[in-house]
Amino acid sequence: MGRVIAVANQKGGVGKTTTAINLASSLAAAEVDTLLVDCDPQSNATSGLGLVKDPERISTYHLLMGAAGADTALQATGLEQLWIIPAHKNLIGANLELVEGERREFRLRDALAPLRERFQFIVLDCPPALDLLTLNALVAADAVLIPMQAEYFALEGVSELLDTVERIRGSFNPELVIEGVVLTMFDERTNLAQQVTAELKRFFGEKLCQTTIPRNIRLAEAPSHGKPALLYDVRSRGAESYIRLAKEIISHHLPTQEVAAPETAEGQEKTGEEMDKTA
């Protein structure tokens, strides 16, 4: 069964989309079948992977509206083991159109259910709001990954998200857990970063990811080339840090798998291909 991870933080510009694109790509590069679902009307994950705008294409909007099956929405990417379900700005309408809808919080969960056997990881890129789209992502997810910047009041910024996660756990999705908190655009040399990290470590404990993502220009440039960082400049610190984050997240779930050499994983966790055969 694949693991669904929502990348969420209601604050904009904290690195959600950069994390979703580069984590998903790094998982795929580690030979794990991965799906990225763009749940943000801004569609930055879609364009960041090189898909041109196309209102006719089947997208997350159609899934939420029950107008198409998820398998018909899959698009290939520049990485063999990475697929994307794209978004288009029409997704903004789903927030309103769904308000009266039946099972409105479960639309994404229901739509993705048939794909959970096929992918080992499904990464959801959320919009910068605690709206019905993020709610659908959190109800569809097994876990939430929270990108954060190391700034003063960092905890105050995420308290609303943590409350929302708590409420969803008490209602629509009792299994929802926190996958981790990842520090983005991180500059370890500053005192501020050290202080905030210590505070977050006290608060989140093991949930604070060991991997931090440095501020790195390659991460900001790659989307304009329609590529994840590891296809744009694999040697950049940005690409390397997301590869480390992917290994850390795989290790949460496949602790015995040697990630750097996937071919040695034989006899341990099933590969996506084997899952397909048994499905």
Ligand X SMILES: Nc1ncnc2c1ncn2[C@@H]1O[C@H](COP(=O)(O)OP(=O)(O)O)[C@@H](O)[C@H]1O
- If binding is defined by CB under 6 A, does position 26 make contact with ligand X? no
Q: Which residues pair with 76 in a beta bridge?
A: 83
- With respect to ligand X, which residue has the nearer C-beta, 13 or 114? 13
Tell me which residue of 194, 124, 133, 183 sits closest to 157, measured CA to CA. 183
Position among 4, 8, 16, 123 found at the interface with Mg ion (CB under 5 A)? 16
- With respect to ligand X, which residue has the nearer C-beta, 13 or 66? 13
Angle between the 237-253 and 16-29 helix axes, to the nearest 10 degrees?
Answer: 70
Contact (CB, 8 A) for 23 and 246: yes
Q: Where does this chain touch ligand X (CB under 6 A) — which range of 24-32, 100-108, 192-200, 213-221?
A: 213-221
Tell me which residue of 95, 97, 215, 80 sits closest to 147, measured CA to CA. 215
Per partner kind, with CB cut-offs from 5 to 8 A, the member of ligand X, Mg ion, none near residue 66 is none
- If binding is defined by CB under 5 A, does position 109 make contact with Mg ion? no
Per partner kind, with CB cut-offs from 5 to 8 A, the member of ligand X, Mg ion, none near residue 114 is none
Q: What is the CA radius of gyration of the chain?
A: 18
Q: Give the integer Cα–Cα distance in Å for 86 and 243.
A: 23
Binding residues for Mg ion restricted to 17-76, rule: CB under 5 A: 17, 44
- If binding is defined by CB under 6 A, does position 215 make contact with ligand X? yes
Residues that bind Mg ion (CB under 5 A): 16-17, 44
